[in-house]
Amino acid sequence: MTVQNPQDALRGILDTAGFDAIPAGHVAFTGADPVLPSNFLIGTAGAASIAACGLAAADLWELRTGRRQDVGVDVRTAAMAMRSSRYTRQLGGQASSGMADISDFYQCGDGRWVQLHCNFPHHREGTLKLLDCEGTKEAVAIAVQKWAAYKLEETLVAADLCCTMTRTNAEWETSPHAPVAAKLPVMEITRIGDGDPQPLPDGDRPLAGIRALDLTRVLAGPTCGRTLAEHGADVMRISGPHLPFHKALVMDTGHGKLAAHVDLRDESGAETLRDLVRGADIFTQGYRPGTLAKRGFSPEQLAALRPGIVYVSLCAYGREGPWRERRGYDTLVQNATGICDEQGGGKKPRHMPVSLLDYASGYLMAFGAMTALGHRAREGGSYHVQVSLCQTAHWLKNLGRVDANINALDLPDPSATDVADLLMQSDTPFGQLEHLAPAVQLSETAPHWTRPVVPLGTHEPVWPN
């Protein structure tokens, strides 16, 4: 397997997206893998996805001003950005992973492993009800022993709950879904409507005057919105007042955003969202394929409502294949696709020491959105950007591994003290937050956030003047 460096990995992303405005060689990379305890090229993947965003932002700036700026990414900094929630904390407190008490790997009666994902209350309650046990790891471990791994996975999935059986790379490749997912590129940008070119609005940042609606949850999608905000977009995080969330992840991904509640369970909420769409440039959503179409918010419906919209879709397993409608999260996709088995070194499965599928997918979404804005400014039209955690997993695995002479699994796991040079502090309604600064470097429009993290539902669902 060929080991790719960040420049080659970036070039692959740009070629897939048809981005040729600024060449990959315009990015200056520093550092190299391994950075963290993993044989996967975490820093390389992180640096390439972050650099793609930097190039897309630089292209929009060049469209505005005619000036090209330098882009720089450090591999170590990018690797830490793939787990930024670990370094986000209220001063005086501890960072939180957001993982629930019983979310873990468990060995089934046939000796195979499964991972249960029970971070939201309804997933936890449903899993415990199906297993017919109390809510402790000890009780769950005993209950899982009554099952064969594949049967438990299929039963929980059929109940709309969250589980994957641990697969080796070979087992994943021969599964029904893998061949379909492998045919999809790491991201797709499709023109879905015609229209005249729409010049970028006036402003002193790459995305100044651009409005983005963020209807995503957890990590990947919110990372996209956070990235758009760091380049100057007005980003509004839309959440339902009834939906569960993780405070720690809101603090990690909420930088630069407005935050409003809209209840899509009734028509008045749907109409409020339509009003917001009419004034938006970008619409990002992380529902399973086809879900929002039932409420009138499919890509084609929004392109008709707001010609020139850039619609960004995220899902777990991709737009095609037998697993397309399955619920999924970063850790579950790692486990299904062979990453956890490999990371475990043939012993108990382990996750990578990062949520790379989430964070890299978020940066790829933002890159796709900015690239589509460039198309809209030059050629007109409406666009659909599609990314999935599974496609990102395939891309990561295809990048190669750390040099075989290095056992990167034995590397130390950096603490917040070890990355103090990468941290900054912000005053927020949550108090003083310590967190990672933006990872990309731009020579003329340094990325930054102009709004602090706020609790969900803080603002009215109205665009600022």
Q: Which CATH number covers residue 210? A: 3.40.50.10540
Nearest 5°: CA angle at 405, between 400 and 411? Answer: 85
Place of tokens 């850039």: 310
Q: How far apart are the first and last CA of the chain?
A: 53
Closest CA to 448 of 269, 292, 231, 267: 231
Asked if residue 113 belongs to a domain, the reply is: no
Rounded to 10°, the helix 6-17/356-379 angle is 50
Contact 245, 239 (CB under 8 A): yes
State both tokens at 376.
């809209």
Q: For the sheet containing 27-30, what is the strand order? A: 27-30, 71-74, 441-442
- Is 163 inside a domain boundary? no
3 state DSSP class of 371: helix
Find all residues with CB under 8 Å of 65, minimum gap 6, and list them.
none
Single-letter residue type at 24: A
pLDDT at 243 (0 to 100): 85
Q: Where are the beta strands (DSSP E) in 59-136?
A: 71-74, 89-90, 104-107, 113-116
- In sequence order, what are the beta bridge partners of 29? 73
* DSSP conformation class of 437: P
Lookup result for tokens 């492993």: 113
For residues 167 and 336, is the Cβ–Cβ distance under 8 A? yes
The residue whose two tokens read 């882009």 is: 71
Overall domain count for the chain = 1
299 and 306 Cβ atoms separated by less than 8 Å = no
279 in a structural domain: yes
Domain limits for position 213 = 6-96+181-321+350-442
> Bridge-partner residues for 410, per DSSP?
none
Q: Is residue 116 part of a domain?
A: no
Asked if residue 185 lies in contact with residue 16, where contact means CB atoms within 8 angstroms, the answer is yes
List, in sequence order, every beta strand (DSSP E) within 297-398: 310-315, 382-388
**Has residue 376 been placed in a domain?**
yes
Backbone angles phi, psi at 416, to 5 degrees: -60, -35
Max Cα separation, the chain?
66
Q: Which uninterrupted H or E stretch holds 14? A: helix 6-17
Q: In what order do the strands lie in the sheet with 211-215?
A: 188-193, 382-388, 310-315, 282-285, 211-215, 234-239, 257-261
Residue 222: predicted pLDDT: 97
| Eight-state DSSP code of residue 401 | B
Residue type, 76: R
Amino acid letter, residue 12: G
pTM of the model: 0.96
Question: Concatenated DSSP letters for 254-286?
Answer: -TTEEEEE--TTSHHHHHHHHHHHHT-SEEEE-
Find all residues with CB under 8 Å of 111, minimum gap 6, and list them.
Answer: none
DSSP state letter for 170: H
Decide if 149 is inside a domain.
no
Question: What per-residue confidence (pLDDT) applies to 373?
Answer: 98
Contact between 169 and 398 (Cβ < 8 Å): no
8 A C-beta contact, residue 56 and residue 440: no
Q: Are strands 431-436 and 89-90 parallel, antiparallel or unpaired?
A: antiparallel
| Residue 453 lies inside a defined structural domain of this protein | no
Q: Which two tokens stand for residue 106?
A: 């468990």
From CA 114, how far away is CA 432, in angstroms rounded?
39
- pLDDT tens digit at each of 465 positions of the chain: 567 899 999 999 999 999 999 999 999 999 999 999 999 999 999 999 999 999 999 999 999 999 999 999 999 999 999 999 999 999 876 655 556 789 999 999 999 999 999 888 889 999 999 999 999 999 999 999 999 999 999 999 999 999 999 999 999 999 999 999 999 999 999 999 999 999 999 999 999 999 999 999 889 999 999 999 999 999 999 999 888 888 999 999 999 999 999 999 999 999 999 999 999 999 999 988 888 888 889 999 999 999 999 999 999 999 999 999 998 999 999 999 999 999 998 899 999 999 999 999 999 999 999 999 999 999 999 999 999 999 999 999 999 999 888 889 989 999 999 999 999 999 999 999 999 999 999 999 999 999 999 999 999 999 998
Rounded Cα gap, residues 101 and 464, in angstroms: 40
The pLDDT assigned to 294 comes to 85
* Structure token digits, residue 258: 């407005």
Q: Which tokens is 115 given?
A: 């991972």
Beta-bridge partner residues of 89:
434
Residue 184's CB is within 10 A of a number of other CB atoms, namely: 18
| 37 domain-assigned | yes
Which residue, 165, 99, 106, is CA-closest to 131?
106
Q: What is the pLDDT of residue 307?
A: 98
d(CA 456, CA 404): 46
10 Å CB burial of residue 354 (0-12, 13-18, 19+) is: buried
Q: What is the pLDDT of residue 95?
A: 59
3-state secondary structure of 394: helix
